[in-house]
Homo-oligomer: A and B are copies of this chain.
Amino acid sequence: MFVLDYRSKLPIYEQLQTQMLKLIVGGVLKENDQLPAVRTLAMELGVNPNTVQKAYAECERVGMIVSVTGKGSFVSNPAVSMQLYMREKFKELRNLIQESLEYGLEPSMIIDAVSAWCEKGEWDYDPTQISH
């Protein structure tokens, strides 16, 4: 369920947190679903329990999951996670576009690209590529 990239610059606990968010937003994990126990997941992934604990703690802090000593950790209302995900993505998108414009990229170029990808699904569309 969780997969790690050990070559990534991102810390393991952040990777776990990100994956948790995607699993919830993507509907793989549903409300009240029980998550693997800290020690169990640590074993499966071959990492230290403290690392998993750190990820779970952060997920709980932002309201993605709820942990209860003796019972386990459970997915909380996915709407919370969806909200988190959307805010995060739109913030990234806004910052990216803002910076791109500051450094001379044409608004029309951006709009055209976003349309091609977003509406037409033309993922091959590349505004930096000259067509031959």
Binding site for B on A (CB under 8 A): 22, 25-26, 82-83, 85-87, 89-90, 92-94, 96-105, 107, 110-111, 113-115, 117-119, 123, 126-128
Contacts and interface: CB of A to CB of B under 8 A. Distances in A.
Contacts of A87: 128
Contact of A93 (B26, B90, B96, B119): B96
Chain copies in complex: 2
A126 B104 CA distance: 23
9 contacts: A26-B102, A86-B128, A87-B128, A89-B100, A93-B113, A96-B96, A97-B118, A98-B117, A107-B119
A100 B88 CA distance: 10
B110 A118 contact: yes
